[in-house]
Amino acid sequence: MAKSATPQIKGESVQSLYRLYSSEKLLTNRRYQRKLVWSIEEKRSFIDSIQKGFPIPIILLAEVGDPGNPKYEIIDGMQRLNAIMSFIEQEYSMDGKFFDLNTIAETKDKLDSGELEQGVDVLGRAVCVDFSGYQVPISIYSEREAQHIDEVFRRLNANGKHLSKQELRQAGATGAFANVVRKLSANIRGDSSIGDVLSLNKMKNISLTNKDLPYGINVDNVFWISNKILTKEDLRNSKDEEIIADIVAWIISDKAQRSSSDVLDGYYGFTENLDASQAVDRHINKIGEDFIINNVQACFDLFLEIIEKSNETLRDLLFSSPPARFPRFFQLYFIALYEMLFTDGKEVDSYTKLLKSIKHSGETIKLSEGGGNWSAAEKERGIAQISGILRKSLKKNGQIDPSKRHWISRFENILMNSTTEQTLYDFKMGFYDLKEDAKFNADLFNKAIKTLTAMANTHRGAVGYVIVGVCDKKLSADAHKKHYSAGWIRFGSYFVSGIDEEAEKHEKDTDTYFTKLTNLLKGQPISDRDKDFIGRNIFTIKYHNKTVLIISLSSGDEPSMYDGKYYTRFGSNLDEVKTQNMLEFIKRFA
């Protein structure tokens, strides 16, 4: 695909764009690109325009990477390109008929290899040929500086027709405040990813959809929607990020902060006076981004536990009838609980008492009916009132860090991250075969530790996870269910079976099971550094009623070795580093 110093509009066929897509050369950058949010209906409407030969908006790409093997970052047109590629790959039909995979060489290869499966009713070949040959208007921007690409994106959407105000604030923002808000928002929605840059192919795994498709995230299950805090349109417009931004600003600041659009503009440096932006970044850098993210998410996870035990949505728990401005009430309850956990050092004493005390308690909190501005004084009054309601059900936590106790959403983030970065995640049903007289499979445990060292060797700063008690195939989950007469919990494409039944059958209980594994770890042929890290980062969590074991290893200053050899992992494959590749391998840690 040719490029020009000055962007020139040209046509690229759908088939040509699919070739780039198949080779993972179409990239998305989550610093500025919004979520994949088009519904099936919106995708079909766009495909219908192409089929009828109507003109469509220009797609703007920026050439990045090695000039000899370029890739293209999508500045404008991610939703449109995804609509085209997902239609070709059989994710939806047009009038009940699917794209003919025999039309394009790349899709025919995938059909023949079994990577793609042809839909039952097929569109006519002529229709598919015309679709494949449709000339999509493309403009390639040759600027390679990341900050310049970010600015192009902002200016392109500055008139507000394409993006909401919050999406424009976040677009390309690289400060500490923007990073924390972006990461927390993605974690809570469930569409998090390890890095900012993903191929368009992988974006579908973390897309929001209004249909129960076998991939991505059903928008009805997203926290903000399932608890009736926001509408789907609010979520599409990133209102959830505005709430998170307000919460983060409040908890990191030395004094109470009012809420308004212009205040948020200030935090993101959207005003001539950069004092507010510099102040919030300074606070976050002093405390640490990870510290804030871990604590906010721990508080959020406690919210999930409370909601689960109530068997109600959060709005129905706090109110008998739908209130106005419920997002503001959510903020007040969240901040009150956060301050009691991390400022006062409290934890839940009795969930029964807590649920009883907060049942319909929102009706006692009075908020003004004013416009977009929300005064700091009103916030403080509401938080103080809610703290008084919560205090009776909490107790001193005995110096236990709450951020290490609540792992519901972070576990779900791990499952979602694995769909875009398979190299750093491995899932195991357990360490016993599904036989009545099964013995502990030491080879499987050894391979799990070897796999962790290979994950740590991916690159400097890599963190690898082995998750025990999760099946990545339904066939395995059903086999576990049949053997132990215990069900599983589905999340995305994974099936959480837990280790409870295996532990009780073979090792008395989960504590004994855990002790066995930690003792076996001591005899593993790995460095003392890695042994110590894994020993401090092997723990169990409760996901609903299932116990899951999490084992992790982070890379050190030097590569990790297993039994005198170095290993790397690509996808799910484990490979020993060969002598001829050793120098290049060592450079990863230089």
Higher pLDDT, 501 or 202: 501
CA proximity to 306, closest of 192, 248, 210, 389: 389
263 compared with 150, residue with greater pLDDT:
263
Mean pLDDT rounded to a whole number for the chain = 87
Rounded to whole angstroms, how far apart are CA atoms 362 and 358? Answer: 8
CA pair distance 315, 330, nearest whole angstrom? 9
pLDDT higher than 70, residue 411: yes
* Separation CA 292–CA 330 (nearest Å): 19
Q: CATH says 421-587 is which class?
A: alpha beta
Residues in the chain: 590
Taking the C-alpha atoms of residue 491 and residue 108, their distance in angstroms, rounded to an integer, is 32
Q: Check: CB of residue 26 under 8 Å from CB of residue 136.
A: no
CA 570 to chain centre: 21
Decide: helix, strand or coil at residue 527. coil
pLDDT grade for 250, boundaries at 50, 70 and 90: very high
Q: What is the pLDDT of residues 329-362, one digit of tens each?
A: 999 999 999 999 888 888 889 999 999 999 999 9
CA distance 1 to 204: 24
In this prediction, residue 145 has a pLDDT band, given cuts at 50, 70 and 90, of low
Asked if residue 1 has pLDDT above 60, the reply is no
Q: Kindly report, residue by residue over 427-484, the tens digit of the pLDDT.
A: 999 999 998 888 999 999 999 999 999 999 998 888 999 999 999 999 999 999 999 9
Residue 378 has pLDDT above 80, yes or no: yes
Q: Is 405 exposed, middle or buried (0-12, 13-18, 19+ CB in 10 A)?
A: middle
Contacts of residue 390, Cβ cutoff 8 Å, sequence gap at least 6: 336, 337, 340, 354, 357, 358
pLDDT at 34: 62
pLDDT at 406: 66
Domains of the chain, by residue range, sit at 9-163, 217-404, 421-587
pLDDT digits (tens, 9 = 90+) for 520-563: 999 999 999 999 999 999 999 888 889 999 999 999 888 999 99
Flag whether pLDDT at 160 surpasses 50: no
Contacts of 523 (CB under 8 A, 6+ apart): none
Is residue 99 a contact partner of residue 87, using CB atoms and an 8 Å limit? yes
Residue 158 in this model has a pLDDT that exceeds 80: no
Cα dihedral sign, 179-181-185-188? positive
Alpha-helical segments (H) within 35-160: 40-51, 78-88, 105-113, 125-133, 146-156
Q: What pLDDT does 193 receive? A: 81
Sequence-separated (6 or more) residues with CB below 8 Å from residue 373: 258, 259, 260
pLDDT tens profile 356-371: 999 999 999 988 866 6
pLDDT attached to residue 204: 79
| Residues 65-100: b if buried by 16+ CB within 10 A, e if exposed | eeeeebbbbbbbbbbbbbbbbbbbbbbbbbeeebbb
324 falls in which pLDDT band (50, 70, 90)?
confident
Instruction: Look at the block and give the residue holding tokens 């308004």.
Output: 260
Q: What is the pTM of this model?
A: 0.78
